[in-house]
Amino acid sequence: MKRTSEYAAIAEAEIRAISLPKENLEGLYAPVEYGMQAGGKRLRPTLVLMTADAFGQNPEKALKPAVGIEMFHNFTLLHDDVMDKSALRRGRPTVHSKWDENTAILSGDTMLTLATEYVADVDDSILRPVLDTFNRQALRVYEGQRLDMDFESREEVGLEEYIEMIKAKTGALLGGAAKIGALIGGASKEDAERMYDFGVMLGVAFQIEDDYLDTFGNAETFGKPIGGDINNNKMTFLMVKALSMGGANAEALKVAMKMPEGPTKVKTVTRIYEAMGMPAISKAEAAAYSSKALTAIKKTSLSDEAREAYRKLIEKLIGRSK
Amino acid sequence: MKRTSEYAAIAEAEIRAISLPKENLEGLYAPVEYGMQAGGKRLRPTLVLMTADAFGQNPEKALKPAVGIEMFHNFTLLHDDVMDKSALRRGRPTVHSKWDENTAILSGDTMLTLATEYVADVDDSILRPVLDTFNRQALRVYEGQRLDMDFESREEVGLEEYIEMIKAKTGALLGGAAKIGALIGGASKEDAERMYDFGVMLGVAFQIEDDYLDTFGNAETFGKPIGGDINNNKMTFLMVKALSMGGANAEALKVAMKMPEGPTKVKTVTRIYEAMGMPAISKAEAAAYSSKALTAIKKTSLSDEAREAYRKLIEKLIGRSK
């Protein structure tokens, strides 16, 4: 097994090498390449590569599907940015602000089809389960996005349905990445399912940590301004959990949500969260899902070395700015 | 072989029976079903079913892929309508006007993944070529749409590049439908390729006829108001060909394109087209591509009965409002 940073570097190199037909189709394919070159942790292709390796396959055999999974992820970001009317992502103009909305829609569609082609670049013997896994996770991601959009117009969201939304929107793609890596690695059907479960639980832990960092993180290491979720009244784990606890603090939160955007609102909500013990509660919840992810790994036939690699990955992700 | 209307009826029944999970996901899947129930000729699934039948396979075996091809088509219409900001399609509100733009983008994405699942519902032995054909035609369709969008901002478009655009935007999906039907029917690789060529040529003939009808058709049988393309200064076969002929009439056309929308503009452009002999030129061009489509059929190993069925289909489509 390699270090996760090595798998990420292999994926990054392959992504940088993508070259699409540009002659008279610049307006279709340049945004695809731009969307892919946004950088980031490359967590999803890392999961594909390391899981193929963990099950004994040369990770080179998983390279195209790894790129496909990352392309699917970037396709969802591209369309999400149109829907959210976001001008920036990771400090760069989004595709629809650099080009225009129609370009973002069409080049996003192109990315989804290209992603399917990349993912399908596997041995014929496993094409069916790999393709099914990919399509099923895609539908789960859309379902999660739909639920997330529906939550925006609601005053209250239950903790259970929030977790279900995260399992779909964030977990399914991590689950799909791990399962596809396992299938390429020659894992048994049972082990492939366990790797899917691992990815879903990792996704939930990851999202809870991300929600935490958006309020309690350090802007520099987090890479985004702190307090964005609070200003947007976003239904995050912190907000959903805090509201579900009820009492005077929950009522105070509801009042604070009606405040205009700005540092006073961010400070007010943050203080209420602190009074409710949300930092510790959030950390404990992320740890609980990390532990579920590790339990899924322990149920597989993977070697101790591989298990240790996944444990380190979790530690790196969930404890990523302690 | 059945009549084309019978294949269309079989596809229609299967489409009407589509039932997607609605519980708390109404906002994702109801627009998908709505988009599929727009009616129309069901030409693309008809091509899948009749081609599987023509090569000796029970068309029932092609039913899911036929639905998948129609779902892909309706996905492109849904996103095209967002890009064109069209309020109506076939007399009904478009998805983004009935719901909203974000719903149209997300449910369109969902249709593309569902379409891939439907198309992949074939025997494992042909999954690879069917999936490759589907993904390749999809990319051609996006490329055609991109070129069409680029043409909008240009003053002149060459006849050759216009035909290339149509081959991609309209032809590739008809070609893909026929080729996938052939693969399901057990056709040889060569015959499957010829059926692809047939579909592409049929698509070009069909589009030229459609452009003709938008100016010279009968509003009632055409189903849309006449003159829409003229009012929108759309680069159609009529316009591209007429401009390419040059001379005083072409100059007059350029002036007429600057007129404001309305019946006077439509009448003026129509008269110039008539003076240039465009109705006959357009009919001859559509006939030439119909003939190329038939030539592709004649190169296959298909029976005389099957060839006759395709001849009738072409006649029905290209002569459809004589």
- Count chain A–chain B contacts defined by CB atoms under 8 A: 97
- For A137, the closest chain B residue by CA position comes to B113
Q: Strand, coil or helix: what is A320? A: coil
Beta-bridged to residue B89, according to DSSP, are B92
Of A83, A105, A139, the CB nearest to B79: A105
User: Residue A222: is its pLDDT beyond 80?
Assistant: no
Residue B321, pLDDT above cutoff 50: no
Is B128 in contact with A128 (Cβ distance < 8 A)?
Answer: no
Q: Specify the pLDDT at position B219.
A: 79
Tokens of A230: 């609070």
Mean pLDDT of chain A: 95
**Domain made up of A1-121: CATH architecture:** Orthogonal Bundle (1.10)
Which pLDDT band, with edges at 50, 70 and 90, does B64 fall under?
very high
Residue in A with minimal Cα distance to B85 = A102
B110–A139 CB contact, under 8 Å = yes
Considering only alpha carbons, which residue of chain B is nearest residue A85?
A: B102
B6-36 tens-digit pLDDT: 999 999 999 999 999 888 999 999 999 999 9
| Minimal C-alpha gap between B4 and chain A (Å) | 30
Residues on chain A touching B108 (C-beta within 8 angstroms)? 109
pTM of the shown model: 0.96
Cβ pair B48, B173 in contact under 8 A: no
A97 confidence band (pLDDT: 50, 70, 90)? very high
The token duo for B110 is: 């969902």
Position A219 scores a pLDDT of 79
- Tell me, yes or no, if the two domains A1-121 and A155-322 fold the same way: yes
> Who has greater pLDDT, A319 or B315?
B315
**What does the pLDDT read at residue A120?**
98
**Is the Cβ pair B147, A110 closer than 8 Å?**
no
Homologous superfamily, domain A155-322: Farnesyl Diphosphate Synthase (1.10.600.10)
- B142:A117 CB<8 A: no
Residues of A within 8 A of B131 (CB-CB) are 116, 120, 127, 131
SS3 of residue B89 by DSSP: strand
Is residue A65 over pLDDT 70? yes
- Tell whether A139 is within 8 A of chain B (Cβ): yes
Q: Which residue in this structure is represented by tokens 């369109």? A: B108
Return the pLDDT at A153: 86
Contacts with A169 (C-beta within 8 Å, 6 or more apart), sequence order = A141, A143, A144, A145, A147, A148, A207
Residue B178 pLDDT class (50, 70, 90 cuts):
very high
Which residues, numbered 47 to 86 in chain B, qualify as contacts with chain A under a Cβ-Cβ cut-off of 8 Å? 79, 82-83
Residues 22-41 of chain B whose Cβ lies under 8 A from any Cβ of chain A: 24-25, 27-28
Chain centroid offset of residue B168 CA: 10
Q: How far is CA B47 from the centre of its chain?
A: 12
By the 10 Å C-beta count (0-12 exposed, 13-18 middle, 19+ buried), B91 is classed as exposed
Q: Out of A217-226, B112-121, B192-201, B252-261, which region has the weakest mean confidence (pLDDT)? A: A217-226
What pLDDT score was predicted for residue B155?
81
Hey, are the CB atoms on B24 and A147 less than 8 Å from each other? Answer: yes
Interval B182-203 mean pLDDT: 98
Position A303 pLDDT exceeds 70: yes
Listed by start position, the domains of chain A span 1-121, 155-322
Alpha-carbon distance A317 to A201, whole Å?
A: 13
Answer yes or no: is pLDDT of A176 > 90. Answer: yes
- Give the model's pLDDT for residue B220: 78
Strands (E), B63-147: 88-89, 92-93
Cβ contacts of A227 within 8 Å, gap of 6 or more: A214, A215, A263, A266, A270
ipTM associated with this complex: 0.96
The rounded distance, in Å, linking the Cα atoms of A17 and A35 is: 14
Find tokens 């200003």 and name the residue: A231
Q: What is the pLDDT of residue B322?
A: 38
In which band, very low, low, confident or very high, does the pLDDT at B320 lie, cut at 50, 70 and 90? low
Residue corresponding to tokens 């084309």: B4
Provide the token pair at A80: 């999400």
Dihedral sign of CA atoms B235, A24, A103, A143 in order: positive
B170 and B204 in contact (C-beta within 8 Å)? yes
- Give B36-70 as a DSSP string: HTT----HHHHHHHHHHHHTT--GGGGHHHHHHHH
Q: Distance (Å) from the C-alpha of residue B117 to the closest C-alpha of chain A?
A: 7
Two structure tokens written together for B84: 């064109």
Average confidence (pLDDT) over B201-214: 96
What value does the mean pLDDT take over residues B172-182? 98
Longest dimension (CA), chain B: 63
pLDDT the model gives residue A72: 98
Interface test with A, best of B72, B78, B116, B160 (most A CBs within 10 A): B116
Contact A236, A211 (CB under 8 A): yes
Q: How would residue B152 be classed by pLDDT, with cut points 50, 70 and 90?
A: confident
With bands split at pLDDT 50, 70 and 90, how would you rate the model's confidence at A320?
low
Q: How far apart are CA B315 and CA B290, in angstroms?
A: 8
- How many angstroms separate the CA of residue A83 from the nearest CA in chain B? 5
The CA R_g of chain B, rounded to the nearest whole Å, is 20
pLDDT in tens, A237-263: 999 999 999 999 999 999 999 999 999
